[in-house]
Amino acid sequence: VPMVTTESGLQYKDIKVGQGPNPPVGFQVAANYVAMVPSGQIFDSSLEKGQLYIFRVGSGQVIKGLDEGLLSMKVGGKRRLYIPGPLAFPKGLNSAPGRPRVAPNSPVVFDVSLEYVPGLEVDDEE
């Protein structure tokens, strides 16, 4: 699978291309993610919390690289995002005890799967 580099400097590789729709900007999405520092140490993970991460895509609720990377995904897809520092945590991130902290402007890696987009399911008859 080729690595894609966008104009912003975000790089990503599709692990699995979804069969569903792309999420429209401003819609809520439900995703799972594992967030790592470049060494591979995990600093955050929705899987460990046991619940999907739901946020409004394209509206600045999450780091820029995650927003951009998700917008071009399809539901059911899984992607590894290589997010450069300016699109990640420009001010750094203090993490939970026992987790690596993210240095300011450090690149991060997110494995993200787009599970579904509430409101974009196949419409049932009204």
Average pLDDT of the chain, as a whole number? 93
101 within 8 A of 91, measured Cβ to Cβ = no
CATH of domain 4-116: 3.10.50.40
- pLDDT greater than 90 at residue 123: no
Beta strands in 7-120 (DSSP E): 11-16, 28-36, 42-45, 53-56, 78-83, 108-116
* pLDDT-wise least confident of 25-34, 59-68, 89-98, 116-125: 116-125
| pLDDT one-digit tens code per residue, 68-91 | 999 999 999 999 999 999 999 999
Q: What is the pLDDT of residue 43?
A: 95
User: In the structure encoding, which two tokens stand for residue 30, read together?
Assistant: 């439900």
Give the list of residues 6+ apart from residue 124 with CB closer than 8 angstroms, or none. none
25 within 8 A of 19, measured Cβ to Cβ = no
- pLDDT greater than 50 at residue 126: no
Q: What is the pLDDT of residue 122?
A: 55
Calculate mean pLDDT across residues 53-68. Answer: 96
Measured CA to CA, the distance from residue 9 to residue 64 in angstroms comes to 11
Measured CA to CA, the distance from residue 36 to residue 42 in angstroms comes to 4
Q: Which residue has the tokens 């993610």?
A: 33
